[in-house]
Structure 1
Amino acid sequence: MNTMREPGNEIEGISVSVVVYRPDLQQLAQTLKSLAAAYDALKGTHPAFTLDVCLVDNGGLPDITASFDALRAHGATLSIIAGHGNVGYGRGHNLAIGRAASCYHLVLNPDIDLDANALIRAVEFFERHPDVGLLTPRIGDEDGHIQYLCRRYPTLFDLFVRGFLPAGARRFFTRRLARYEMQDQINERDIVWDPPIVSGCFMLFRTDVLKKLAGFDPRYFLYFEDYDLSLRTHEVARVAYLPAVRVLHHGGGAARKGSAHIRMFASSAFKFFNRFGWKWL
């Protein structure tokens, strides 16, 4: 794994890491296109800002020359890290984080579309709030509804109900799940300070904060690495939910991805609760 740079010599700009494993080429191209548009808008207010995109190939990356050429046309620099095999989500991002020399680093899923003003609003918020180290956006689904991906600390029962019960059974636990998903606080208008856990599909960090935390814990192959990193971030900086930053998320849950993902989910949950404490009901 790459050696992390010492904080303090950051370039004025944003670095982005996208970890892929057999990605949907059309969706990945759309993600990179939306990133380019958001960077274009950011350059209107921060013309000196750079954008450095690192694609981490955990396996099965198709030819994305056209998407990379389009990003380069917007002034971004791009690189691919490959040949290491499928090392998992967090370790894949750490390969790129180790290279980052930016003010800000965006951990981005390949199934996210950024609003054109997302980066402008995020950077301006960071500039107004120097104590904030991690920002999470308003995450919407394809129907325009909020995905409540900020979390309170989970119990095992919460995870089982939300992840594995069919929709008809989940309705008996609506109030419980709403509390876990912070539906009493997360909305379209209000900044929410220090949500305990935020989603790894879009985590925008101050790079020096992320390096201080040494990135993701590599013991998680997939799932719960964002829970772990969120909780550790609170030890060194503030976290903010900012609904003015908007993204669209095309992702799904572990139970809809087959038995292998269920096993990985269970393994990571065990590691998470062993580290931070078990809550059953």
Structure 2
Amino acid sequence: MSRGSRDRDAPVVTAIVVAFDSAHALPECLDALRVEGVPVIVVDNASVDESVALAERMSAKVVRQARNEGYGRANNAGVRAAGTEFVLIVNPDVTVEEGAVAALLDAARRHPDAGLLAPQIVEPSGRVFFQPRSLLAKRLPNPAGRLVLPEGEACAPFFSGACFLMRRDVFLELGGFDEKIFLFYEDDDLCRRIEDSGRSLVYVPQAVVRHGRGRSSGRRPGLVFRSRWHQAWSRAYVSRKYGLPNPAPSMFAVNALKTLLACLTFRRSLIERYGGSAAGAWAFMRGRDALSQEGLS
């Protein structure tokens, strides 16, 4: 086989899958990527389940993190470990349908100015997920949040971080996901920086993926509180980053009151939900950062 032939056979895209106790979701995700002929790098955020062993059995390259580094930081590590022209960011609870990756790559060739290409994301109910608005969008803010699906390929200011395709050099040039964010709003932030760089974000509806929504990680005590803490903190962080009004004081006031009311119901799920949001907003107001919260500073 000639060198030219080997180069033509080399993969042009690598899928990056971040796992955190995701053994329940990985088989379907990795098997679909295998069928599509896409090599996979699984970045494991210190899982305590069988995620690493399962990924290795399914022939994925595994990058092991000594501890949970968060979604964006782990994806950055995976992209740095990839050596292909394109990277496909894929949540472990996402399965790509037949031809989806090829459709994204085809669109990337036809739209060389695109910074990000997003597939059609279908939820378990059959509903198509298309973000009707984004906190950081400079245009099409859609304050009512009305869902209107494009009839074909279209540009938008924001797409979900659950699955998307980017040129690896563009991802790295832009600095990847903001590593100060542990969880939440890292996709809003990346999309904003892509658009600020003059590149477009393109919706490719003929590329279809299925998203399990919320099945990325196994359930464990305190996960709701932790998740809501980071959601509140990250919202305040990106708002400050882009000069938007600080939502932390109002988030704290509203959620602190809801926490007190939830305590009267003795419903732990509500106490964790509202308490986590109040705590994240309060931490931001006090100057605490997300990495310190996770012991990563």
TM-score, L = length of structure 2: 0.69
Partner of 1:244: 206
Tell whether the 8 Å contact from 2:120 to 2:203 is kept in structure 1 after alignment. Answer: yes
Q: Does 1:127 align with 2:109?
A: yes
Structure 2 CA distance for partners of 1:88 and 1:175, relative to 1, 3 Å = closer
Which residue number corresponds to residue 12 of structure 2? Answer: 13
Say whether residues 1:96 and 2:64 are aligned partners.
no
Unaligned 5+ runs, structure 2: 1-9, 251-297
Give the secondary structure class of the aligned counterpart of 1:121. Answer: helix
Change (3 A) 1:14 1:144: same
Kept after mapping to 2: 8 A contact 1:213/1:233? yes
Other structure's SS at 1:125 match = helix
8 Å contact 1:33–1:67 — kept in the other structure?
A: no
Aligned mates of 1:232, 1:175 — CA distance in 2: 21
Larger RCO: 1 or 2 (CA < 8 Å, sep 6+): 1
Offset at residue 218 of structure 1 (A): 0.3
Cα drift, residue 233 of structure 1: 0.9
Distance (Å, rounded) in 2 between the aligned partners of 1:262 and 1:113: 26
For residues 176-191 of structure 1, the aligned pairs below 5 Å read 176-178=144-146, 183-184=147-148, 186-187=149-150, 189-191=151-153
| Pairwise CA distance, 1:175 | 8.0
1:87-124 per-residue CA deviation (whole Å, 9 max, x = no partner) reads 11111111111122211111110010111110111111
Q: Quick one: which of 116, 119, 133 aligns to 2:98?
A: 116
Please, what TM-score do these two structures have when normalized by structure 1?
0.73
Contact 2:118 2:202 in 1 (8 A): yes
Q: How many residues align?
A: 226
In structure 2, give the amino acid aligned to 1:35: L
Q: Does 1:272 align with 2:234?
A: no
| Corresponding residue of 1:215 | 176
**Letter matched to residue 35 of structure 2:** A
From the superposition, tell whether residues 63 and 263 of structure 1 become closer, same or farther in structure 2 (CA, over 3 Å): closer
Aligned partners of 2:26 and 2:93 also within 8 Å: yes
Alignment check: 8 A CA contact 1:17 1:97 kept: yes
Offset at residue 131 of structure 1 (A)? 1.0
Query: For residue 57 of structure 1, what is the aligned residue in structure 2?
Result: 44
Which residue of the partner structure matches residue 263 of structure 1?
229
Secondary structure in structure 1 of the residue aligned to 2:85 = strand
Work out which of the two has the higher radius of gyration on C-alpha atoms and give 1 or 2: 2
Give CA-to-partner distance per residue, 1:222-260, whole Å, 9 cap, x none: 00111101100113321101111111111149xx96222
The one of 30, 33, 40 equivalent to 1:32 is: 30
Native 8 Å contact 1:138 1:245 kept in 2: yes
Spell out, residue by residue over 1:17-76, the C-alpha distance to the aligned partner (whole angstroms, 9 max, x if none).
Answer: 1111111x232110111111222xxxxxxxxxxx43111111224155565444x4xxxx
Matched, 1:224 2:185: yes
Q: CA RMSD in A?
A: 2.6
